[in-house]
């Protein structure tokens, strides 16, 4: 496979990968479709700084001018944050965006895909997509789950987005053989809340254990990703019952407006922010920062194991 025509990696990141230094992949959909401008510009720089402060090198991904970008400069970050004519790109869209030179923000699925191509084993996000509520009728299931089933990247996120059917999402991951590990928790978090009513497969006591499980899984040839569920810090968590009421209100609005497919999550998150008077955005920021911190610590330990 000749990726040189498509993959554009910054010199710093390419050198780090070559030397086996810790690198953490970051998505851009959270910038273009998950947060308002200009707050997202500050977030983009903050999250990269957090990765560096914890001993790793940030690799924010995007699709720009026919290239899979691994690492963005300030102008490219600003382009993603302004979100003008920036599509939301999942696996099925990648070839079309590259061939037609459209600019796109990378989802969890696409970031995993690019990270594996670039040989980056860990990725920090807000929360993964999953099985949507009512999927028994709509078949609305995020491509993130299939990517986790097949792509060798560990994903650190605050569980899955609380707008989803969490029980069915976990059942799907179990069927696909994806380990769901809790970072210092037995409870599977639900994005804005530390608990969802469901449990993880295993409680990770520290970053060293996470790195050992990653290495062991892939050494054995057990292909596919790992979901490391890292709960939002308690002081920024929202009340589970209150959030359920808010989510149901937002879902009803989406149904009335006939919002479907890839537009659903951005629509729901924007309306949840409005209904909670901005509290959900603050929580979103803090959980993403926390995930970047934990992913960086795991990346450092994984790099040590592979020296």
Catalytic site residues?
27, 161
Cα 11 to Cα 6: distance, rounded to the nearest angstrom: 16
Cα 99 to Cα 94: distance, rounded to the nearest angstrom: 9
Task: At 183, give phi and psi (nearest 5°).
Answer: -85, 105
Cα 11 to Cα 169: distance, rounded to the nearest angstrom: 38
Q: Residues near 15 by Cβ (< 8 Å), separated by ≥ 6?
A: none
Q: Residues near 38 by Cβ (< 8 Å), separated by ≥ 6?
A: 81
- DSSP structure string for 210-231: HHHHHHHHHHTT--S-EEEE-P
- DSSP structure string for 7-48: EEE-HHHHHHHHTT--EEEE-SHHHHTSS-TTHHHHHHHHHH
Q: Which residues partner with 156 through β-bridges?
A: 124, 228
Kindly tell me the burial class for residue 245, based on how many C-beta atoms sit within 10 Å of its own C-beta (0-12, 13-18, 19 or more).
exposed
Q: How many residues does the chain have?
A: 307
């Amino acid at each position: 496979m000749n990726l040189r025509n498509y993959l554009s990696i910054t010199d710093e990141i390419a050198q780090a990968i070559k030397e086996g230094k810790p690198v953490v992949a970051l998505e851009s959909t959270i910038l273009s479709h998950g947060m308002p401008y200009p707050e997202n510009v500050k977030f983009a720089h903050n999250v990269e700084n957090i990765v560096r402060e914890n001993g790793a090198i940030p690799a924010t991904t995007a699709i720009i001018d026919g290239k899979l970008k691994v690492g963005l400069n300030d102008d490219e970050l600003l382009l993603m944050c302004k979100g003008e004519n920036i599509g939301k790109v999942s696996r099925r869209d990648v070839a079309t965006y590259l061939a037609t030179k459209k600019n796109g923000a990378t989802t969890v699925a696409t970031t995993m895909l690019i990270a594996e191509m670039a040989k980056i084993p860990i990725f920090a996000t807000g929360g993964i997509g999953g099985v949507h509520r009512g999927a028994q009728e709509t078949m609305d299931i995020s491509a993130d789950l299939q990517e986790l089933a097949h792509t060798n990247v560990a994903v650190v996120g605050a569980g899955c987005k609380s707008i989803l059917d969490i029980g069915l999402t976990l059942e799907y991951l179990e069927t696909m053989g994806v380990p769901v590990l809790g970072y210092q928790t037995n409870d599977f978090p639900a994005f804005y809340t530390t608990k969802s009513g469901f449990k993880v497969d295993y409680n990770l006591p520290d970053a060293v254990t996470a790195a050992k499980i990653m290495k062991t899984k892939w050494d054995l040839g057990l292909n596919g990703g790992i979901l490391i569920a890292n709960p939002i810090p308690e002081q920024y968590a929202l009340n589970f019952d209150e959030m359920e009421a808010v989510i149901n209100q937002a879902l009803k609005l989406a149904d009335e407006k006939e919002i479907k497919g890839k537009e659903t999550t951005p629509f729901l998150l924007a309306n949840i922010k409005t209904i909670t008077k901005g509290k959900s955005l603050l929580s979103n920021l803090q959980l993403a920062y926390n995930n970047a911190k934990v992913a960086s610590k795991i990346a450092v330990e994984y790099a040590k194991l592979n020296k």
